[in-house]
Structure 1
Amino acid sequence: MADNYLEKKLEAYQTRKTSGTKRVNIFHKTRRVFITGGAEGIGKAIVKMFRSAGHRVAFCDQNEITGKETALQTGTDFYHVDINDKDALEKCMQHLFADWGDIDIIINNAGISQFSPITETSVEDFDRILSVNLRPAFITSRQLALHRQSQEIPNRFGRIINISSTRYLMSEPGCEGYAASKGGIYSLTHALAMSLADLHITVNSIAPGWIQTRDYDQLLPADHAQHPSKRVGKPEDIARMCLFLSQEENDFINGENITIDGGMTKKMIYTE
């Protein structure tokens, strides 16, 4: 009789444990995620990782062909949007608000890399880089804030993750526009963290170092060896941090910029 009692207690414990786990998994599957620039590279890795984690994912990109391919491969929603077009980006988000009811997580990933000597870089070139790399992060954050303010029942969960770059603090010649845009992302992030605190939205940024998005096997041993971590980064390294920051229990990380570069920005380098 004692043995039967212990067996029933063990069975009841395992049932509670299993049902508790199910509740956690279902809860996490309810997150609604919007990613800019999700068709390829780091953005595609983020799309895949969030979808694999059971979240509902939509992304936008200027590349219609690649965007449709990524959406088909991952079972996500694709919007053909040029984020340099404010009206198009806002319309995309309004469609998601109407379809989903809200957006829980925004990852501002889209950006362009354009390097040229300063004497060959026009003011228009500089403006375009900022309008693609920096301004959309403000637009998406503002749209989310406006939507949250209009809600009768507040959503007490929100995440904004902005993709910066280690070039926000280190440079080489000819990268004025790119460095300025990524420095702007760094500053915009902590400003947004303060402005959106009452809406229960945390805002953080990630500064990738060398992330090889294609032909990883073509890298040289010296490419890997120069990193303290002894390898060049992969898009999944950034995607994993996005997923980590989006976990509900990590709401105490706020207004931060997290560098993921294999230790390179901590390496003191002098030439002999």
Structure 2
Amino acid sequence: MFQELEGRHALITGAGAGIGAAIALQLAQAGCRLTLCGRSQGTLQAQVEALRVQVPDVAVLIAPMDVADEHAVQAAVQQAQARFGPVNILVNNAGQASSQPFAKTDAVLWQQMLNVNLTGTYHCIQAVLPGMLEAAKSGTPGRIVNIASTAGLKGYAYVSAYVAAKHGVVGLTKALALELARKGVTVNAICPGYTETDIVREAVQNIVSKTGKSEAEARQALAASNPQQRLVQPQEVAQSVLWLCAAGSNAINGQAIAIDGGELAG
């Protein structure tokens, strides 16, 4: 169904679990060669082993890095390009969320949210874009997919730094899409609502510790923002990424697509 993706080089950050792992599986099944990035070598290795159970012949490279570290990103991308050639698909999935009232959001927390969620996205695009553009000139289109959040499209209380960073990701997506529109590269953002990931599990524990609610009540409180009254599943986000990478989405550019069960519809 996605034969045009066979052999394309996809680099995914935050690839060890959750949404990143689901994206890796979808792209592996479409025939992409994968570079999996994250901070934990062990977590990435476990993900490779899980991938090979479902896609035994997947071509995959582990390139540990912290997206907030520009030099680490450059080194990882150089390693990836030496193995598989230019990156054709970049999925900026690495992210971090911390909850504090604004009055308790100090400069360290503020900068950490920007570093991981926004500047990390910038670092990765800067590193892969020259090679991606060269490949596009030769006929292999490029795709940049930034995993933002509904927090990039609306406000949420007690996560002001995270919301600011994710709004920045959406703004970067739109600006870069215009710059690259005639160069064979599309740039889009996926904006999931509360999704079954480690970030949400941490949010649940935070609610439990601060409010005394049960874990089930905390999960329901997060799911309540979704009109479908459930958490989004990582594979639902991954399938949207796969669609954006396919040939049929050539005209989809500069968009911030909410995967939220209708949360932003009202």
**Secondary structure of 2:190's partner?**
strand
TM-score by length of 1: 0.81
Instruction: Indicate if the aligned counterparts of 1:106 and 1:161 stay in contact, CA closer than 8 A.
Output: yes
The aligned counterpart of 2:252 is 253
Instruction: Indicate if the aligned counterparts of 1:211 and 1:233 stay in contact, CA closer than 8 A.
Output: yes
The aligned counterpart of 2:8 is 31
Does residue 143 in structure 1 map to residue 127 in structure 2? Answer: yes
Change in Cα spacing, 1:144 to 1:199, as seen in structure 2 (3 Å) is farther
The aligned counterpart of 1:7 is none
Identity %: 30
Relative contact order higher in (CA < 8 Å, ≥ 6 apart): 2
Does residue 184 in structure 1 map to residue 168 in structure 2? Answer: yes
1:89 to 70, 73, 93: 73
Instruction: Indicate if the aligned counterparts of 2:88 and 2:140 stay in contact, CA closer than 8 A.
Output: no
Name the amino acid aligned to 1:136.
Answer: G
Q: Runs ≥4 in structure 1, deviation > 3 angstroms?
A: 148-153, 218-227
Mind listing any 5+ residue stretches in structure 1 that lack a counterpart?
1-20, 268-272
Aligned pairs, number: 243
Name the amino acid aligned to 2:191.
Answer: A
2:97 to 113, 134, 152: 113
Name the amino acid aligned to 2:8.
Answer: R
The aligned counterpart of 1:172 is 156
Quick one: distance in 1 between partners of 2:224 and 2:168? 31
Quick one: distance in 1 between partners of 2:158 and 2:17? 25
Bigger CA radius of gyration: 1
The aligned counterpart of 2:57 is none
Change in Cα spacing, 1:152 to 1:130, as seen in structure 2 (3 Å) is closer
2:118 to 114, 125, 134: 134
Mind listing any 5+ residue stretches in structure 2 that lack a counterpart?
53-59, 202-214
TM-score by length of 2: 0.83
Quick one: distance in 2 between partners of 1:155 and 1:140? 22
- Within-5 A mapping of 1:252-271: 252-267=251-266
**Secondary structure of 1:140's partner?**
helix
Shift of 1:155: 4.1
Change in Cα spacing, 1:170 to 1:152, as seen in structure 2 (3 Å) is closer
Name the amino acid aligned to 1:191.
Answer: A
Change in Cα spacing, 1:148 to 1:28, as seen in structure 2 (3 Å) is closer
Does residue 77 in structure 1 map to residue 61 in structure 2? Answer: yes
